[in-house]
Homo-oligomer: A and B are copies of this chain.
Amino acid sequence: MTPQRIAIAETIWKYGHIDIDRLYSVIREKFPTISLATLYKNINSFLEKRFIQEVPIPNHKTKYELILKNHGHFICTECGEVRDIEIDENVLKMSIQDSVPNMDRVSLSVHGVCCGK
């Protein structure tokens, strides 16, 4: 656990969802010499350890978020913003008509336009 690593985790937590570029610029305020390589290495290590997960966003860079409680995402197809939405996981699972092998994790994304565009 290095200070850089802590800052990365904190920043992801603080922003909720953040992509690599924003993360880079935020972290550099505290650690001006940090490199993108270090960032990617830490991101990948966090991913492996299942501290964080990717939130892929069409036409935008993938964002990262801490894995806390299960929730859905509203993803704006215009600006790429992500908002968490609460889901009732039992009801959600009831919507699945087919049998599914080994359901590890269920992820729900709602796509739409957030701003009045």
Residues in A lying within 8 Å of B, measured CB to CB: 54, 56, 58, 72, 74, 77, 85-92, 94-98, 100-114
Docked-complex contact B112 and A102, CB < 8 angstroms: yes
Chain copies in the assembled complex: 2
CB-CB < 8 A to A111: which residues of B?
103-107
A-B contact pairs, 28 of them (CB 8 A): A74-B100, A74-B101, A77-B104, A85-B96, A85-B98, A86-B97, A87-B95, A88-B94, A88-B95, A92-B92, A92-B108, A94-B95, A95-B108, A100-B110, A101-B113, A103-B112, A104-B111, A104-B113, A105-B110, A105-B111, A105-B112, A106-B108, A106-B109, A106-B111, A107-B109, A107-B110, A108-B108, A109-B109
Once A54-B58, A77-B104, A91-B91 are accepted as A-B contacts, the answer to whether A98 and B112 lie under 8 Å apart by CB is no
Instruction: Output the nearest chain B residue to A108 by Cβ-Cβ distance.
Output: B108
